[in-house]
Amino acid sequence: MSSTSSSVLRSDQIWLDGKMVKWDEGQVHVMTHALHYGLGCFEGIRAYRTHDGRLAIFRLQEHIDRLFDSAHICMMKMPFTREQVAEACVELLRAQKEQFANGAYLRPIVFMGDGAMGLGAINPTRVSITAWDWGAYLGDKGIREGIRAKVSSFTRMHVNVNMVRGKITGQYVNSILAKREAVLGGYDEAILLDISGFVAEASGENLFLVNKKGAIKTPPLSSPILDGITRDSVLKILRDSGREVEEVTVTRDALYICNEVFFTGTAAEITPVREVDDRTVGTGKPGPITQYVQETYFRAVRGLEPRYSEWLTYI
């Protein structure tokens, strides 16, 4: 059992270009093209300990499909099939599943390797998969009580500036700057608007709100947002419960006067937002819709919701 710090477990091995190597041998050259120009794509995938003690990867195929779609958008030729990359995720955890008592976070990444330099270079595509134990991204307290968010001074890039269907490495500089601004200002997370001033998403999460009439809304995929897999799961959970969800644009002040706001994402899972721009959201506590989504989601990922059993790939 190894650790990146005294409190974070990580796998002893990395899947790199088709074979397992020791963690410390998972290296790339300083002339790697992606390091200089940001051309790569990645996924974040969680594996959970289920109620019966097994380890299960959440919506593995959907994540692999999005990874390959992202590579296609970036015109990067994949050296492995979808099946090979999915099996590599399973293989990596299967070999070390006992050490991930609390589950694991998988990070497949595809990037242009070293060789030629310059913006027009086309080098071989490299693929790596790592795993570590990553707890609640916005904190356990944030999951329970909600977080404080701030509308960022940074704007989410226009759909003709970035490829919004792709989870592309270089594009996350926009998110990093927004996140740092928010944290330095004393907040937990940033909310970015699109170029028209409508709410897009958080730095690494999709957003839902419940207004005072009980209407549930989330920005549409025509906005510059990632087509989140957790977002899709939440849409299904809500609609399966008989609730309607409107995929529509919303203004920032709609967040100030609604009853509930919550973020969704692989890392953040289902995180309530108790405050936006120093304005209390609703009662300042997770609301009933947020609590329902949280409860159902966590039951599903732990194998306690048979209707969502297809979301789980058991190791």
pLDDT, tens only, 95-131: 887 788 789 999 999 999 999 999 999 999 999 999 9
Number of neighbouring beta carbons within 10 Å of residue 158: 12
Which two structure tokens, joined as six digits, stand for 248? Answer: 């529509």
Residue 8, pLDDT score: 63
- What residue spans define the domains of the chain? 2-132, 140-301
CATH number given to 2-132: 3.30.470.10
198 secondary structure, DSSP code: B
CATH number given to 140-301: 3.20.10.10
Q: Do 255 and 191 contact (CB within 8 A), yes or no?
A: yes
pLDDT above 70 for 6: no
Note the pLDDT tens digit of each residue in 269-312. 999 999 999 999 999 999 999 999 999 999 999 999 999 999 99
Q: Do 269 and 241 contact (CB within 8 A), yes or no?
A: no
In terms of phi and psi (left: phi > 0; alpha: psi -120 to 50; beta: otherwise), the region of 230 is alpha
Note the pLDDT tens digit of each residue in 142-169. 999 999 999 999 999 999 998 999 999 9
* 3-state SS class at 65: helix
DSSP one-letter string for 237-274: HHHHTT--EEE---BHHHHHTSSEEEEEETTTEEEEEE
Q: Do 89 and 106 contact (CB within 8 A), yes or no?
A: yes
Catalytic residue among 167, 212, 217, 236: 167
Which two structure tokens, joined as six digits, stand for 139? Answer: 């904190």
Which two structure tokens, joined as six digits, stand for 87? Answer: 């099996």
Give the containing element (helix H, strand E) for 20: strand 19-22
| Amino acid found at 289 | I
| Amino acid found at 205 | E
Task: Indicate if 167 belongs to the active site.
Answer: yes
Note the pLDDT tens digit of each residue in 180-216. 999 999 999 999 999 999 999 999 999 999 999 999 9
